[in-house]
Every structure is written in structure tokens, then in C-alpha cells.
Structure 1
Amino acid sequence: MSDSNQLRKDILATRNNLSPEELQEKSKAIGNRLLELPEIVKSKSIFLYVSFRSEVETMSLLKTLIESGKTVSVPITYVKERRLDAIHITDPENQLVPGYCDIPEPDKSIRVSNIVEPETIDSVILPGSVFDERCGRFGYGGGFYDRFVSKIPKACRIGLAFDLQIVKLAPLQDHDELLDYVITETRIIRGKR
């Protein structure tokens, strides 16, 4: 257990050292790869995390996907219930406010009216701390995304990561869900979930 915590800590420390320019440049390369992925092109409904701190930046992706006519939903975290809900947004600039841990999330005014049923989602795009060559993923320790995707096995699962977050084999546990793809600034890793 401590191995995975240390690995997570080390990789996040390295990721936090990326300069704003590197973060932006690498995120743009990752975003371009994602938008060309056939699964994303075909998806009508896409669930996408809202980037925070040194995560792969998603604000421009949100806008591009919305403009291309996709139904885009983002997470709201209910810490006590240990769950995520998917909330449909159309205007990220005005509909997102600082929420859990200051992560941008949907404004109260749309949390109930814009709920998206998980089983209607075609693709789920996840953040994470560590990813591996078989498309394994470590989140940040809360298990929110693992619980969310485990309920919708048919949805395509895509992790966005920088090359520095990829290890050969992460010490995954039983509850850690595998992904279909991990996209970095230089490559697309395909999983065999």
C-alpha cells in the first residue's frame, strides 16, 4: 500500500514542476490526439473532468467538444456519499464555480436540472496521478472515478496524462479500474480491458 502512495507522491511532485508553458503545450498535444480518437468522434455524450492545478488542461477541450455539438458533462463530487454525479454544461466559463478542494464544478443552479444518467454516457475522460502500460490508473486516493466508471462498463474510458506519469506496471488493487486508452503528449496507449 505504501508503495502506491509513494509512487503517487513522487509522480505528482514531478508533474507539479512542469512550467505553465510546458503544461499548456503538452496539454494541447494531448487534446489534439484525443479529439482525433475514433471513439470520441463517434461519441454523442462525453463526461470530462475539469482540470485542476497541474492536471492535463481540459478547459479548451470542454469548449471544443461543446462547440462540436456533443453533450458534455462534468463531475460534481459528493464527498459524504463518496460519489460523482455527471452534470451537463453548455457554458464552462459561467457554469463552473470552485467546489470540493477548489476544483471547478457545476454551479448549484444546474446540479439537479442538468443531471446526466451515467448509462447514457459514451466516453468518460479521467484524470489521474499514475498510469501504466496496460492502461491501469491511480487516481488521488478517493476512489470516486473508479466507483463512477464501474457502473458504466460499456462507456469508453480514456485517461489523460503526461509521459512523466506513465510507469511500466503500477501496483493496482482490485478496486482500481482499467481504462481503454491513456493519451499522452507523444502517444496513445491502448488497453485490453
Structure 2
Amino acid sequence: MKEDREALRQKILGARDGLSDKVRQAKSISVMQNFWTLMGMQQWSTLFIYVNFRSEVETLELIKKCINRDIRVAVPLVEASAVRMIPLLIKDPEQDLVPGYYNIPEPDPKKSLRLEPGEIDAAVIPGSVFDIHGGRLGYGGGYYDRFLLNDAPQAKRIGLAFELQVVDNVPLEPHDQPLDILITEERIVNITR
């Protein structure tokens, strides 16, 4: 199973990495439009949002727009030695983010306040492979799975993906945490779990 998961992850990431910057930006805009359609039906006041890295669905404009709409936004600070993430509130991604774990942009702990994970209404999370049943393959570290299970089980789990990352069935393991909602450039999938 591990070999199947890794082969699938590499295949899908290769396809995602093959998108041109222009295509990825256009698809990201469509994903964000679908996100705002969803937000129009919700009363969430505090979001935990990943900061995009490499070829992921872009989130910086989403973060800025949420902050401008008085939605509290926390982003992950990776504490690699403890294999965990800490949600830190930010007010301006251009000022508050610095290169962190694997050079992924993270909040500067000197400028950002810690958010209690129990205050998170919804977590917007990345991944490599998704399915419409709530399955998600991350990047292999288990950071989001542990965070959702142990720290923020109450948070609605929203995966952002490009349609090319969606497969029929993700090969799941017991520790994999399911999504509640999947948003791509083409659709919003509400998942019953």
C-alpha cells in the first residue's frame, strides 16, 4: 500500500508541477471563486489556511481577502522537532511571513500571536491527491492529519485542489483524516462522513 500511495503521489505531483504558471494562476483564481461561493453560506470567523508552496493552489490572495473582511486567519508554523504545527495569527502576509520549514513561508513567531486550535472554524489544507469521498494524501509527513485529529477536531476540513489531483479513490491508511469539503476550479464537493 505504501508503494501504491507514493507512486500515486509522485504521478499526481508531477502532473501538477507540469502546469505553467499562467495556467496554475488561472485555475487558482477559479478555486478561490468557488471558495467564496462556499463562504457566502457560512458564518466562519476564524480560518486556518496553508500558505501555498511550489505548485499548490495559491492562497495568498485568499488570506489577504479574509483579513480584509475581518476574518481571523492563522497559518501553520511547523515545529519539526515535535512533528507538529502551531497556528499563528497573521495580519499581513507580505510582512508577517518568513521562509520556514523546507523554505515554506511561515509566520514569524516574533510578530504573530498563537491561536488556540479550538477556536478554528475551518481549516483550509493542501495535499497531493484527493477524492470526492473525503480522501486526501498529503506529502507524507502527517502534519495535517495529526493537527486535525489531536488539535482541531472541530474544524471543518476544506481541501483545495486542481481537478487533475482528484482520483476515484485515494488509498487510505487508518491515520488519514477525511475532508468535509473539496474545492477545485470546477466544483465544490460537500462530503458526508
TM-score of Structure 1 vs Structure 2, range by shorter chain? over 0.9
Per-residue Cα deviation, 1:143-190 (whole angstroms, up to 9, x for no partner): 000011113222110000000000000110000000001100001122
d(CA) in 2 for partners of 1:162, 1:47: 20
- How far apart are residue 91 of structure 1 and its match? 0.7
| Corresponding residue for residue 182 of structure 1 | 182
Partner of 1:167: helix, strand, or coil? coil
Closer, same or farther: CA 69–181 of 1 in aligned 2, 3 Å: same
Per-residue Cα deviation, 1:123-145 (whole angstroms, up to 9, x for no partner): 00000000012011010000000
- Listed as ranges, the gaps of 5+ residues in structure 1 are none
| Corresponding residue for residue 139 of structure 1 | 138
d(CA) in 1 for partners of 2:148, 2:33: 24
Q: Is the 8 A contact 1:40 1:123 kept in 2?
A: no
Per-residue Cα deviation, 1:101-137 (whole angstroms, up to 9, x for no partner): 11000113135xx000000000000000000120110
| Pairing of 1:96-115 with structure 2 (within 5 A) | 96-111=97-112, 114-115=113-114
| Corresponding residue for residue 170 of structure 1 | 170
Letter of the 1:131 counterpart: F
| Corresponding residue for residue 88 of structure 2 | 87
Q: Is the 8 A contact 2:88 2:109 kept in 1?
A: no
| Corresponding residue for residue 9 of structure 2 | 8
Letter of the 1:118 counterpart: P
Q: Is the 8 A contact 1:48 1:124 kept in 2?
A: yes
Q: Is the 8 A contact 1:39 1:123 kept in 2?
A: no
- Listed as ranges, the gaps of 5+ residues in structure 2 are none
Q: How many residues align?
A: 191
- How far apart are residue 37 of structure 1 and its match? 0.8
Identical positions, percent: 46
Letter of the 1:156 counterpart: K
TM-score (norm 1): 0.96
| Corresponding residue for residue 149 of structure 1 | 148
| Corresponding residue for residue 73 of structure 2 | 72
Deviating beyond 6 angstroms after TM superposition, the runs of 4 or more aligned structure 1 residues are none
d(CA) in 1 for partners of 2:133, 2:73: 27
- How far apart are residue 38 of structure 1 and its match? 4.3
Letter of the 2:5 counterpart: S
| Corresponding residue for residue 38 of structure 2 | 37
TM-score (norm 2): 0.96
d(CA) in 2 for partners of 1:106, 1:79: 15
Partner of 1:37: helix, strand, or coil? helix
Per-residue Cα deviation, 1:3-55 (whole angstroms, up to 9, x for no partner): 00000000000000000011100000001111221487410000000000000
Q: What is the CA RMSD across the aligned residues, in angstroms?
A: 1.2
Q: Is the 8 A contact 1:39 1:156 kept in 2?
A: no
